[in-house]
């Protein structure tokens, strides 16, 4: 147990020192806040790739999640936040209940965001379908976009939008039959 703690202490000190060195090598102060662009520049440096690989972090995976994890609530982060992310993404770490709960919260937030965007599209399509044919802005060529809702998923409170195209001169009844 003591050896594990010592290894972890050494690993944390190594990551902290290396990330701070990366920040300084890009001409930034370790105590200053970092922007998205700063973090991207740091993560894409060849030395960062070596450092992250040495501690078991998938560099490509880190680049993909850094924006979500670091900049979700703010446009700037501290160097210690970047160090923390590197430590969290090490390959030897196992998922905890807290990680799963955070993932669940993230998914719920993203689905809510997407559901709101879909709702906006559905309202726009509904308005466009009620406009006179000559003024319809929902058309693509000689087709009109028609929203189709999957009733099986409506019970769960989520209503995905699938866009079907129907000829612009079709009636509402023929459109409903196609759905």
The length of the chain, given as a count of residues: 179
Distance in angstroms (rounded) separating the CA atoms of residues 29 and 20: 9
146-173: pLDDT as tens digits? 444 444 444 444 444 444 444 444 444 4
SS3 letters for 32-53?
A: CCEEHHHHHHHHCCHHHHHHHH
C-alpha dist (Å) from residue 92 to 17, 38, 65, 124, 175: 20, 27, 17, 48, 54
Average per-residue pLDDT in the chain?
75
Q: Contact, 137 vs 157, CB < 8 A?
A: no
Distance in angstroms (rounded) separating the CA atoms of residues 120 and 113: 11
26-83: pLDDT as tens digits? 888 888 888 888 888 888 888 888 888 888 887 777 877 887 788 877 888 888 888 8
92-114: pLDDT as tens digits? 766 778 878 888 888 898 899 99
């Amino acid at each position: 147990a003591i050896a594990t703690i010592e290894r972890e202490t050494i690993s944390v000190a190594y990551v902290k020192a290396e990330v701070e060195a990366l920040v300084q090598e890009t001409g930034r102060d370790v105590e200053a806040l970092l922007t998205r662009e700063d973090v991207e520049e740091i993560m894409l440096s060849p030395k960062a790739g070596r450092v992250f690989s040495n501690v078991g972090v998938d560099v490509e995976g880190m680049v993909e999640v850094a924006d979500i994890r670091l900049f979700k609530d703010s446009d700037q982060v501290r160097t210690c936040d970047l160090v923390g992310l590197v430590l969290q993404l090490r390959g030897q770490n196992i998922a905890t209940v807290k990680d799963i709960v955070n993932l669940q919260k993230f998914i719920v937030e993203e689905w809510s965001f997407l559901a709101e965007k879909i709702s906006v599209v559905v309202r726009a399509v509904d308005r466009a379908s009620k406009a006179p044919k000559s003024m319809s802005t929902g058309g693509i060529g000689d087709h009109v976009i028609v929203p189709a809702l999957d009733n099986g998923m409506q019970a769960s409170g989520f209503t995905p939008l699938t866009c079907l195209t129907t000829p612009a001169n079709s009636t509402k009844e023929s459109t409903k039959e196609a759905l």
